[in-house]
Amino acid sequence: MKTTIIAGAAAVAVAAVLAIGAPPSHDAAPATAAPPHPYAYEPPAPGTYRLPPIRAAADGRVLDHNGRPQRLRDLLDGRITVLAFVYTRCADVCPLAMTLLHELHAAASADPALRQALQLATLSFDPAHDTPEVMAEHAAMVAGAAAVDWRFLTTGGPTDLQPILDGYGQPLAARPSGEGADGDRFAHQLRVFLVDAQGMVRNIYSVGFLDHRLVLADARTLLAAPAGAAAMR
Amino acid sequence: MTAHPRFIARIAAGVSAIALAAGVAAIPTSAARADETCQSPYMARITGQEEFVYVWTLGVEGLGDGSDKLVTVDARPDSPTYGQVVDSDPVGGRHEAHHGGFTDDRRFLWLAGLDTSRIFVFDVHSDPGNPRLVRTIDDFVERSGGVVGPHGAYALPGRMLISGLSNDRDKGGRTGLVEYTNEGEYIATHWMPTSETAGDLPGGEFADGYGYDARVLPRKNVMLTSSFTGMANYMTDFGEMLQDERAMQRFGQSMVLWDFHARAPKQVFHVPGAPLEIRWANRDGHNYAFTSTALTSKLWLVYEDDQGAWQAEEVADIGDPSQVPLPVALTLSSDDNTLFVDTFMDGKVRVYDVSDPHRPRQIHEQQIGRQVNMVSQSWDGERVYFTSSLTANWDKKGDDNEQFLKAYDWDGERLTHRFTVDFTAEELGRPHLMRFGAASLYSA
């Protein structure tokens, strides 16, 4: 008996990605590629729709790429944040997620208003491998004065990580021993969270359908909302 | 320890793929974006053998415990309990069990009651063969601002979209869509447009405010909704209602196309006769959906034309409309070529070749029972399941009131019976919604 599980379009897109088989390269410059345009529509104009608060963004103890302990909420406070959970040994949907986040990063960095108001944050759920040193390598790839900040975060271990995952409703399952090649340890369905400057989750995206144009429209919608109006329904 | 080279390589490969897609549009991103047919595209999907069929079942007074319940049936062909009930979880009381759906991670199954407006959330991931009720939402009407009759539960990323059927002011058909987090926290209500609120919306004069189904086509950023009737009708005896001319006028006659991301209506279509279930096509470029109208027995196509405009077109009769066969459920195969349509009154399924969606061609017709309601098909198209109950007040009476889950194999030409669970003999109740489960979804 065989049961196959595919998480929406993500697995299909990943399959397409892997089928291309580009040579490994640490020098890849992934942020400048053209968007895939699988979405045949014009995104709604920023400010023409509402993003009702979904819930307070969960807090927790994290480590930045310099190894400094931080409170996640402190890092989110005052700026709009696109937050995703990934891990670098992932052979499932994380590479797709990172590709899409690089697109978003490039597009947002081209907007002076968003350069100040927006940040990206990726939090690893594989702290055993994704140490601050590993995170620092990724952070170095995207750092730049003219770029939107991108925080590469990890945790000190499962005790700190699990409450954060629970708080965001980000399920993952450890693969049984021996499954998952080369450290590909977790099965997961990735969600990406848009958190406003007051620490409220305002949208949740599925990686399988993450259109960075919609994320940008949402960020600009939050920027356009006057103080206090964010919570209106 | 260093950054994992394969991770970076795959980011790079992803960028290459994207660049190719942008330039050549040849990347096979088309595979079907739905569940074992006709489910939310945001959900994890079973493409192989389902292991369990979850059946949301209305309780019947005097039959067993009389309670609404989630019934789990073993669908593993090599199991010693294949085709048997392996679990039954009463929720206590009768709530007019009707529809529901999984969360996007497929860990929880939300099941709604049309009468009490309660929503029951089952954990199906901890032990898929033994679901467990973990939460009951009993303030849906209050939190939603007056929406009554939670119907579908449709997975969105991290949240659920609940389509209502009625309201608490007049129990009529005006209703809305309600969003909750996966954890059961209320987020927002979106009322269906009416001719008074539609403004200059195209087709706004047809907006009746009614609701039934809500389904999203992400690649077009559109959501389509359909329209049924309010609580005053669906909780009334079917025969009595048929005799009430005013009651019969209170059925939906509209479908609404929404800007999904903005949750804003874009266009209203006049689709008379209570359009019910919506089935988006799966393949890229197949920008269309089917629905059936219960009272007029027509198959409708809502599609994007060559100019990018959306249209609604009546494309076929379902049986003999003059006999009011009452089409109630349909399922579209994952290749978009085959459409199964159940008609409650004659207890039949009709199968259409819809490879040309504008010209459906009936290729098969088969008696399933004396009454039949829901139909669910496996993603590989090889297995089809049917249940019998419509509502407590609309099911047939006496010997015609058969209550079953029936499983068939489909070979492209005919349905071959595999097993039947007699829900009356097993003192379970009236089986309605079906959803598929598999333990391997959660074992990584």
> Which tens digit of pLDDT belongs to each residue from B201-216?
999 999 999 999 999 9
pLDDT at A186: 61
CB contact under 8 Å between B7 and A103, yes or no, is no
Residue B92: partners with Cβ closer than 8 Å, 6 or more residues away: B67
Residues from chain A that touch B9, judged by Cβ atoms under 8 A, are 22-25, 28
pLDDT tens, position by position, A196-227 = 999 999 999 988 788 999 999 999 999 997 44
Q: Nearest CB to B157: which of A13, A138, A205?
A: A205
Identify the weakest region by mean pLDDT among B65-74, B112-121, B431-440: B431-440
For B306: left if phi > 0, alpha if psi spans -120 to 50, otherwise beta; the answer is alpha
Q: Nearest CB to B440: which of A5, A8, A13?
A: A5
Q: Nearest CB to B188: which of A98, A208, A233?
A: A233
pLDDT at A94: 78
Inter-CA distances, B208 with B164, B211, B255, Å: 14, 9, 9
Task: Say how many residues make up chain A.
Answer: 233
Res. B198: pLDDT tops 80: yes
Residues from chain B that touch A173, judged by Cβ atoms under 8 A, are 442-444
- Of residues B436, B435, B437, B444, the one with CA closest to residue B98: B435
Residues from chain B that touch A19, judged by Cβ atoms under 8 A, are 17
ipTM (interface pTM): 0.90
pLDDT at B431: 98
CA angle, B272 then B276 then B280, to 5°: 110
The mean pLDDT of chain B is 91
- Of residues A163, A157, A95, A164, the one with CA closest to residue A132: A157
Res. B164: pLDDT tops 70: yes
Residues from chain A that touch B21, judged by Cβ atoms under 8 A, are 16, 36-38
Question: Which residues share a beta bridge with B110?
Answer: B101, B121
The mean pLDDT of chain A is 79
pTM, whole model, 2 decimals?
0.89
- Would you place residue B4 in the very low, low, confident or very high pLDDT band (cuts 50, 70, 90)? very low
pLDDT at A170: 87
pLDDT at B1: 44
pLDDT greater at residue B10 or residue B189: B189
- Would you place residue B73 in the very low, low, confident or very high pLDDT band (cuts 50, 70, 90)? very high
Res. A131: pLDDT tops 50: yes
CB contact under 8 Å between A204 and B10, yes or no, is no
In the predicted model, what is the mean pLDDT of residues B189-204?
97
pLDDT at B50: 94
pLDDT at A34: 36
Residues from chain B that touch A35, judged by Cβ atoms under 8 A, are 18, 22
pLDDT tens, position by position, B373-412 = 999 999 999 999 999 999 999 999 999 999 999 999 999 9
pLDDT at A190: 81
3-state helix, strand, coil in chain A (%, to 5): 35, 20, 40
CA angle, B36 then B137 then B142, to 5°: 120
pLDDT tens, position by position, A51-106 = 999 999 999 999 999 999 999 999 999 999 999 998 888 776 778 888 889 999 99
Q: Nearest CB to A17: which of B4, B17, B76?
A: B17
Res. B105: pLDDT tops 50: yes
pLDDT tens, position by position, A14-45 = 333 322 222 222 222 233 333 344 788 999 99
A174 three-state secondary structure: strand
pLDDT at B442: 79
pLDDT at B47: 79
CB contact under 8 Å between B158 and A204, yes or no, is yes
d(CA B239, CA B237) in angstroms, rounded, equals 6
Res. A176: pLDDT tops 90: no
Res. B51: pLDDT tops 90: yes
Place of tokens 């994380």: A94
Q: What is the share, in percent, of chain B residues with pLDDT greater than 70?
A: 91
Place of tokens 């061609």: B361
d(CA B208, CA B200) in angstroms, rounded, equals 15
The Cα of B111 is separated from the nearest Cα of chain A by a number of Å equal to: 20
Res. B78: pLDDT tops 90: yes
pLDDT at A185: 58
pLDDT greater at residue A179 or residue A31: A179
- Would you place residue A174 in the very low, low, confident or very high pLDDT band (cuts 50, 70, 90)? low
- Cβ contacts below 8 Å, chain A against chain B, sum to 238
Q: What is the DSSP letter of A207?
A: G
pLDDT at A148: 95
Read off the amino acid at residue B230: G
Read off the amino acid at residue A152: F
pLDDT at B21: 33
pLDDT at B29: 27
CB contact under 8 Å between B444 and A186, yes or no, is yes
- Would you place residue B32 in the very low, low, confident or very high pLDDT band (cuts 50, 70, 90)? very low
CB contact under 8 Å between B45 and A176, yes or no, is no
Q: Which residue of B has its CA nearest to A40?
A: B220
pLDDT at B403: 98
- Of residues A210, A224, A215, A165, the one with CA closest to residue A7: A210
Q: Nearest CB to A16: which of B17, B440, B441?
A: B17
Distance from the first to the final alpha carbon of chain A: 48
Identify the weakest region by mean pLDDT among A2-6, A14-18, B142-146: A14-18
- Would you place residue A8 in the very low, low, confident or very high pLDDT band (cuts 50, 70, 90)? very low
CB contact under 8 Å between A30 and B77, yes or no, is no
pLDDT greater at residue B39 or residue B413: B413
pLDDT at A173: 64
- Would you place residue A180 in the very low, low, confident or very high pLDDT band (cuts 50, 70, 90)? very low
